[in-house]
Structure 1
């Protein structure tokens, strides 16, 4: 136990340059069992340690961070460890990489029942299916830690404190919001940088971003998808090939039959793998209204624009980047997206309201239809139903 406390103290004391995440304020920390899901690389470990640093006195030893990837937990159960922790005055356990522990869901339920004075906050992959365990999902408050929004990216680089806005606020008051932001910065100056390398926190590290991202993607496939979904290792090359082929045409309509032939797997397996890649936050799938998985998606997008650059060595069209950015930022604001009637069009549903969006570059500024909202690139401030594309990066 003391060894883990020493590690906890070291991590907390050496957490420098803490980056504020909006999720920290959105979580109901009074709940006894909290799950933090997020894709690999978005900063789940840092998030847990930041919570420990901001909320607890390190000398009281009532909060403890542990990584369940530690070999110690091949012979020690979470339940017995939690029992010892509570008996010694512990009140909050922060469990990282929960999915690395074989019987994690059963033991979390056991801890919840046996130790009412104990709070557990656990972090794991988005590939984990908490809702498959009805009993566990009924007692867990689950949250998603996402990659940086454009707003967060700007706040980090420029030392600002820009606030987020709801979709309704942006639609109804975008001109005033954009004008207030433009008084402080040029929001277009760093927009391409964000599209290229701003979504994942490790752009702050002194390493080659593209190589680091490729390593992270491979880890997502090898560990998160194969391990959690219990796929045989021999299928990894097929999964990697499928992701690469999708990246070459994204956003594009997937030809399931051709992908089946190219990857040497069945059509049903292609469909299942698409869902695995989506749950790992590597792709997004877009359907027409009334359609959803397991039907074939109308379009497949990369999950965020950063993924497009290292996977695709050929030049990327501006329209593809613009649509991918819009999908990613809107999707993270808990909206439902459906395919519109034409290229570059989305139907967005939020709180029983439905909006039709058209994504355009600045050159597409011709006659506008009144029933559409235009998200326009390379535009600092919009007017009426024309909104700057970058402003949708302020949704979270």
Structure 2
């Protein structure tokens, strides 16, 4: 126990105390068992430690551990929880829970055995927290921590603090909203937005030199593929190699419009296997699959288009990605991260919640493609202030 407390104290001494992710104020802290999923590098560990600091200030007795700690070579989660409760502990924070075998069964035992103990844990995005060995669905609440929104990127880098804006508000009056934001900034917003699209999705972007960020992103991708998916899905080295090959094919021409049969033949895999791999890559927050339907998607349904999850990944694979792909990738990412249901549309690029059409383009994009559509909008890059149904693309980065 002493080594765990010492480890926690070292981490707390170096934690970022002032700036916090969007989810910090929205954590479901009234839940006894809470899981936080997210892509590597988005700040899950920092979020746990910041919550621990807040809890300690209130007088709670909390302990932070990581499932990778050598302590768990000889002890179980249940052993630790039992010991911590005997010390008067009422809060247990567990990082990287997917690294621990039988995690779900032990969480159930802890939940049932220690009603006065709150447990909050983080996991890989690839992990389905409701499909463990034990039935946690009645006990567990799950939240997702996404990468930085453009709004958060501005705040993290000292450009100013801004509140989130709803999609309805943006579409009703983008002129006033964009004008107010522009007036608060001391710099032009478009160069900052370009920097965000290339390397600003992860909080570590303000700590690394820009030329090192693509390497860090490749490391994240490799770790997710070689470690997380292997642990979560039980994939062998051969499976991981096939998934990397699939990702390489997609990277050559995103947004990728898949022909599943040809793809399966080229990779010597079955159609269902390809679809399962794509679903796993989406769960792991590496890809975004866009379907024609907004709701009721089957796991084995063919996606209309395949995007990378965020625009930074595009720059990790290519030095100069297509500007059109960058714009669409950003739009889909920010819409979905803010909770919108998004599908493909023949009248525009995206259909949102079955009621809105959004076409994405550059400054010269006109209304011709969406002129027959109702409730349709243009998301325009290289535009500072919106007017009418033309909304600056960057403004969609304020949705969360």
Flag whether TM exceeds 0.5 (same fold): yes
CA distance in 1, matches of 2:30, 2:60: 19
Of 196-205 and 320-329, deviating more is: 196-205
CA distance in 1, matches of 2:296, 2:106: 37
Per-residue CA deviation, residues 188-222 of structure 1 (Å, 9 max, x unaligned), is: 12011001001012212235101111011000101
Q: What is the match of residue 262 of structure 1?
A: 266
The one of 325, 333, 339 aligned to 1:328: 333
Tell me how large the CA RMSD over aligned residues is: 1.8
Q: What is the match of residue 366 of structure 2?
A: 365
CA distance in 1, matches of 2:159, 2:63: 31
- State how 1:343-382 maps to structure 2 within 5 Å: 345-349=349-353, 354-365=355-366, 369=371, 371=374, 372-382=376-386
CA distance in 2, matches of 1:18, 1:210: 27
- Check the 8 A contact 2:16/2:46 in 1, yes or no: no
- Check the 8 A contact 2:81/2:110 in 1, yes or no: yes
Residue 162 (str. 1) matches residue 167 (str. 2): no
User: CA 1:244–1:56 in structure 2 vs 1: closer, same or farther (change >3 Å)?
Assistant: same
Residue 309 (str. 1) matches residue 315 (str. 2): yes
Unmatched 5+ residue regions in structure 1? none
Unmatched 5+ residue regions in structure 2? none
Q: What is the match of residue 52 of structure 2?
A: 52
CA distance in 1, matches of 2:381, 2:52: 40
Q: What is the match of residue 137 of structure 1?
A: 137
CA distance in 2, matches of 1:267, 1:30: 44
- Check the 8 A contact 2:55/2:62 in 1, yes or no: no
User: How does the TM-score come out when normalised to structure 1?
Assistant: 0.94
Offset at 1:291? 6.8
Offset at 1:378? 0.7
- Check the 8 A contact 1:5/1:61 in 2, yes or no: no
User: CA 1:114–1:291 in structure 2 vs 1: closer, same or farther (change >3 Å)?
Assistant: closer
Offset at 1:366? 5.5
- Check the 8 A contact 1:238/1:264 in 2, yes or no: no
Q: What is the match of residue 239 of structure 1?
A: 243
User: CA 1:71–1:347 in structure 2 vs 1: closer, same or farther (change >3 Å)?
Assistant: same
Moved >4 Å (runs of 4+) = none
User: CA 1:214–1:18 in structure 2 vs 1: closer, same or farther (change >3 Å)?
Assistant: farther
**SS at structure 2 position matched to 1:137:** coil
Q: What is the match of residue 77 of structure 1?
A: 76
- Check the 8 A contact 1:175/1:383 in 2, yes or no: yes
Per-residue CA deviation, residues 240-273 of structure 1 (Å, 9 max, x unaligned), is: 1111111111112112233223333222211110
- State how 1:143-154 maps to structure 2 within 5 Å: 143-154=143-154
CA distance in 1, matches of 2:269, 2:367: 46
CA distance in 2, matches of 1:88, 1:61: 12
- State how 1:85-96 maps to structure 2 within 5 Å: 85-96=84-95
Of 247-256 and 148-157, deviating more is: 247-256
Residue 201 (str. 1) matches residue 203 (str. 2): yes
- State how 1:218-233 maps to structure 2 within 5 Å: 218-233=222-237
CA distance in 1, matches of 2:267, 2:40: 25
The one of 294, 298, 301 aligned to 1:295: 301
Q: What is the match of residue 105 of structure 2?
A: 106
CA distance in 2, matches of 1:65, 1:156: 25
Offset at 1:18? 4.2
**SS at structure 1 position matched to 2:189:** coil
Aligned length: 390
- Check the 8 A contact 1:181/1:187 in 2, yes or no: no
CA distance in 2, matches of 1:221, 1:258: 23
CA distance in 2, matches of 1:235, 1:35: 28
CA distance in 1, matches of 2:6, 2:159: 32
